[in-house]
Amino acid sequence: MKKKILSAILCTVMAVTALAGCGTGKSAASAGGKTAGEETCAILVKSAGNPYNKKMIEGFQEIMDAQGIKYVVKEPEEASAEAQIKMVNELVAQGVSSIAIAGNDPDALQPALEEAMNKGIKVACMDSSVNADSRMLFVNQAGIDIIGETLMEAIYDITGGEGQWAILSATSQATNQNAWIESMKTVMQQEKYAGLELVEVAYGDDEYQKSVDQTLALLSNYPDLKAICAPTTVGIMAAAKVLQDESSPVKLTGLGLPSEMADYIGDDDAHSCPYMYLWNPIDIGRLTAYVSLALVDGSITGAAGETFTAGDLGEYTITEASDGGTEVVLGPPFAFTPDNIADWKDVY
């Protein structure tokens, strides 16, 4: 991966803030009580041990290290709002400058995150959003409708446009998963998809063994099942192994890491996943870092219409999100196929 750097404009702003403190015309003391050079940016992911989360952290750390900014990484042992609330409170007590969170629940985190913002801490979310009142800006990996349309078209293609199919999701409260699933259900209302029957939405809670168990249950409960869509990196890897080990005729698509899915992608009977999609989670972490820095130095506030440059990722415009808040969108999903998976399996 190419090393990312901040734009000349943002570098200039950061150089100034190193002398004058963060904020737009405010002293460092008014921005969380810190003196110049004491900014600390935090990233709080869904759970520990998740390779996708690790890649987001990697991208975030890369940018912070390049700028010499202190940072804190928080990884709860379980993917729950309760675990994240505890960590948000710890970060508030620590007096960090910013918190970037991948929410395990859209609403439960609101009191803790509002308290953080009331204390001058800049709050953004990435990958899985918290509600609009709980954040200043959402770093969205791809547009919800684009993902929903893309995954439904994949199911249509894999099944031939008819038959039973199922979804293997993460947790039932995961905002990104639920948004994509609702988008898929909306797309299904089109006449084109009339021959497809969604039989179940199963939840593996982003745990490998539970996702394995849920996949086996789907195969047992629906002997006529033709396809599974897993819009979660843990779920798709677990389902891919089950289907391949069982020599199942059921095919799989969804969102996965190429490093974990390379052995399962192929267009023959020996492989369980003809193709899948994702974006670069490292870039999500990078973009989140740029957003955190821009919020802290005051070059953006999170308002729709604002623009900023995120190094080699390019220029971004903040837009209105469907939940009434604002967001920046990394880009459209990318297809990993038998033709290109070898080029990506050692990247992430």
Structure confidence at residue 313 (pLDDT): 96
Q: How do beta strands 307-309 and 315-317 pair? A: antiparallel
Q: What is the pLDDT of residues 5-15, one digit of tens each?
A: 333 333 333 33
Are the folds of 8-141+280-331 and 144-278 the same?
yes
Q: What angle, rounded to 10 degrees, do the helices at 233-245 and 208-221 form?
A: 50
Q: What are phi and psi of 303, to 5 degrees?
A: -80, 145
Cα 12 to Cα 4: distance, rounded to the nearest angstrom: 16
Q: What is the pLDDT of residues 23-35, one digit of tens each?
A: 322 222 223 334 3
Q: Could you name the CATH architecture of 8-141+280-331?
A: 3-Layer(aba) Sandwich (3.40)
Cα 311 to Cα 231: distance, rounded to the nearest angstrom: 29
Residue 36, by phi and psi: left (phi above 0), alpha (psi -120 to 50) or beta?
A: beta
Structure confidence at residue 293 (pLDDT): 98
Domain ranges of the chain: 8-141+280-331, 144-278
β-bridge partners, 71? 41
The structure's pTM equals: 0.82
Structure confidence at residue 31 (pLDDT): 31
Q: What angle, rounded to 10 degrees, do the helices at 175-188 and 144-159 form?
A: 60
Q: What is the pLDDT of residues 208-234, one digit of tens each?
A: 999 999 999 999 999 999 999 999 999
CB 233 within 8 A of CB 278: yes
Structure confidence at residue 133 (pLDDT): 98
Write out residues in the chain with pLDDT < 50, as ranges: 1-36
Q: What is the residue whose two structure tokens read 């390049």?
A: 66
Q: What is the residue whose two structure tokens read 């293609």?
A: 157
Structure confidence at residue 38 (pLDDT): 79
β-bridge partners, 336? 276
Among 82, 85, 75, residue whose Cα is nearest residue 53: 75
Q: How do beta strands 40-44 and 98-101 pair? A: parallel
- The secondary element (H helix, E strand) that includes residue 219 is helix 208-221
Topology adopted by domain 144-278: Rossmann fold (3.40.50)
Structure confidence at residue 37 (pLDDT): 57
Structure confidence at residue 28 (pLDDT): 26
